A and B are shown apart, each in its own frame.
Chain A
Amino acid sequence: MFIANPDGTQVQQVPLVYPAEDFGIPRWDAAAPPSRQASSGLHILAVVGDVYQALADPTRRKILDELADRDDQTLFEICARLAMKHRLTSSRQAISQHLDVLEAAGLIITRREGRYKFHHLNRRPLEHIADRWLTSGPHRRPDENHPD
């Protein structure tokens, strides 16, 4: 999405995706000095994966199904649901890597609560997909440049 120049003062926009807020992702580093913030008012995301790539894997789609069934799950609960409900016997490490891909694509937001870590389903990137093809309202800018 946006990458910082080596001196950290500016950002370059690589093939346009969406600003972080559109994904419901909190400001990347609100505590950073202004020189490290994106001058455009948009915020730097360290890693942004592709939503379509993230959705291309059946195990990752099952993970999203389970989070849609009940949001805010621990890694243990996600693994248990995949194993017990879907007979998916991937290792915990493999599931953890799937979660990393989903998080990089903005489809999952992780939240630390005390000593626990929960995974939250973020639907915003999916809304962009719906918006792209299923709506043709005036809010859709004709010059909008979609990612591949």
Chain B
Amino acid sequence: MLAIAHLGHRYPKAPSAALVDVSLQAGRGKVLGLLGPNGAGKTTLISHLAGLLALQHGEIMIDGEPLSAVRAKTPTRIAVAPQEYAFYPMLSVTENLACFAGAGRLQGAKRQERIAACLAFAQLERFADTRAEQLSGGLKRRLNLAIALLPEPELMLFDEPTVGVDPQSRAFVLDAIKTLATQGAAVIYTSHYMEEIEAIADDVVILDQGRVLRAGSLDDLLAQDAMVMTLAADGIAPEALMQLLSRFGTAQALGDRMRLELNAAPAAVLAALDAAGALVRYAEFGRGNLEQLFMSLTHRSLRD
């Protein structure tokens, strides 16, 4: 549905470009996870899709039609649920929904129907008359989500929609977003929480310093680390452990754990450790995780 090709953008007076030659695709019925450290260009990318920034380089197509033309005709085909609580705190939940429904050109019975449907989807019926400023963090996130769904968009962008919420609300929001994709929408989801992306994304794009570092299906990306073993062992000195592991591949210390890119069978590593009298406390093999991939790609350096 969405195809971005060679997108570039530089803010006025900025020393470097916010986006450089970014290409990605998002399809209906799928969740695209967008990962990147602070300053990676995620917000700039979302601002383009939300129609808040003019195109400088490259193209953004929706079903083969330029984004600007689609937005001019039917801006509500694309919805953005921003990171902030983008609603009016002094208005009640229903009043907020009515306001944004009106802004999205919904009228009459259709408007009432959509407000009721979104209230139900976000399970906010009990709080319909509560002022938004009195809602908890989790309920505010759900209201943010409900407002985004009002015009029944085909492409939805969720910018870190679970920041500051309790685990139950986070699970609810993730389920809800996954449901939207299952129902046929194209979803772009950004988050700093890797486990969230792993939980709901079908495809992943990793951005850093305005460039795409890696893009592909989640399974393919994680399979790239299939021959990596992560382990922690007691009863053996770190230097001795490093020396032992080096016989089976390239070893690297990651805090209190070791990362080993294997050139042998994992069983041989475990047997050698056992023979050396080490007690294996933690071992993981067969599938990398997104956090490891992300950290190795972005080189662990602080960005703020």
> Are both chains from one complex?
no
